[in-house]
Homo-oligomer: A and B are copies of this chain.
Amino acid sequence: MEKKTEKKGASKRSKAPQNRPKHQQALVQAAAVLFRKQGYAATGTAEILKRSGAPRGSLYHYFPEGKEAIGAAALEAASKVASRTFRDLAANTESPADFVRAYATLLAGWMEKSDFTDGCPVATTVLETVPGSDIITPVARTSFQHWQRTIQDMLMSHGWHGGRARATATLVLSAFEGALIMARVEQSASPIHDTAEELAALLAG
């Protein structure tokens, strides 16, 4: 079982530190996209490998706990992106009503661009793995709590008080979560805009 021994290595022409965790990030990124679009169980490790360009060995090197660990990492990555979006949007809008409208526009554009094959990166995986997976469940929980808190803070910075802000933030999150599902099924951004307009009415009144 001899293999070609390519001695071509050893050339350290570039000191670019590109070969450290070369494939780790690619794996998470690929998994995030695939899980989001087609679900957790329907996505095989082979597909993740192919899309990321990583070999099988790397997957189990970086994620000894296997597929579930990749799922958790993908959720974590997606969660951070969304949290940052929430914060940025909160900083650049003038009222809660503005905030939900702006976020709706963002989501709608995103869904349209993907031909309605995208959706919430957390929801898809969650419905297949929570509470079954001990690795994914806590990550998902933290993610939702973080989002909820970010929206709650946004409301409070506009004068809302604790208890009501908490419940309202939950409604906002629930509504967008559901609107993404409806948009996907109806292949239309309308549910997102309808939901946001009604939310805006509540937040303004």
Give A residues with C-beta under 8 Å from B: 38-42, 116-117, 119, 123-124, 126-128, 130-132, 137, 140-141, 144-145, 166-168, 170-171, 173-179, 181-182, 184-187, 190-191, 194-195, 197-199, 201-202, 205
Contact = CB atoms under 8 A, between A and B. Distances in A.
A161 to B, nearest CB: 14
The binding surface of chain A is classed by DSSP as: helix
What is the copy number of this chain in the assembly? 2
B131 A116 contact: yes
Most chain B Cβ neighbours within 10 Å, of A38, A42, A178, A186:
A178
B185 A170 contact: no
A70 B116 CA distance: 24
Nearest to A145: B186
Given A174-B179, A175-B175, A144 B185 contact: yes
